[in-house]
Amino acid sequence: MSDGSTFMGSLLAIIGINIVLAGDNAVVIALAARDLPGHLARRAIVYGTVLAVALRIVLTALVVLLFSIPFVKAVGGLALLVIAWRLGTQDDDDPDVAASGELRTAILTILSADLVMSLDNVLAVAARANGDYRLIVLGLAISIPIVMGGASVLLTVLHRYPWLVWIGVALVAWTGVELFFADERVENFLHAADLGFHMSRTVELFVATAITSFLIAGSFLHGRHNKSKALLKAEGSTAEK
């Protein structure tokens, strides 16, 4: 096989790997940008996507060091659960929540989620690129319009059907639990406990379901509480007038 064919084959494989992650990225970007005004939402999508790609290029260069850090996936999984909670509880009336009108905060949320969610992706890309940074940069650059296009479409859908936010939050939370259990040291602990593959998988599914359900329920109750406060505040302002 010629060098050109090998290069193209590796490039297509890397693009495919990035497209798989693009769906998750688009969901997070749309969730983080959904409460921003139209022009700021577009900026969040563009800046968040481009900066996330740049971050992934750096991570790919540091892949060996990255995966030598103890419990990196476990900590990343827990971080995703926090991000899922913040995405689920953001509200227009709460200035401290990510994506409540602050472009910078929304972009930081996007970058944080991408950093964690791209861990396995980075490892796979590094293996396929075999040290060729042309492949890494080209593959990621080609994925940019896919992510931005997907996020733009999802943002429109979320504005039309707000209840879909809960599906997005569930996806991020579920990914966090899966990442936690994918950590080598967590896997070793479960193996040492001699639970067996099927029991370990059952534990993982139970924990994922329980935590995801808890986050969705908590986010829903938080939203209702904020709406009640806003309603009381509005009634109080009307009474004063």
pLDDT tens figures, 34-47: 888 888 888 888 89
Give the whole-angstrom CA distance, residue 23 versus residue 21: 5
* CA distances in angstroms from 153 to 27, 45, 149, listed in the order given: 10, 11, 6
**Residues in the chain, total:** 241
- Please, what is the end-to-end C-alpha distance for the chain in angstroms? 80
pLDDT at 95: 45
pLDDT at 221: 76
Give the whole-angstrom CA distance, residue 55 versus residue 64: 16
pLDDT at 6: 76
Q: Tell me 95's DSSP state.
A: T
Instruction: Tell me which residues of the chain have a pLDDT lower than 70.
Output: 1-4, 20, 64, 90-101, 120, 193-199, 222-241
Question: Tokens 């926090």 sit at which residue?
Answer: 82
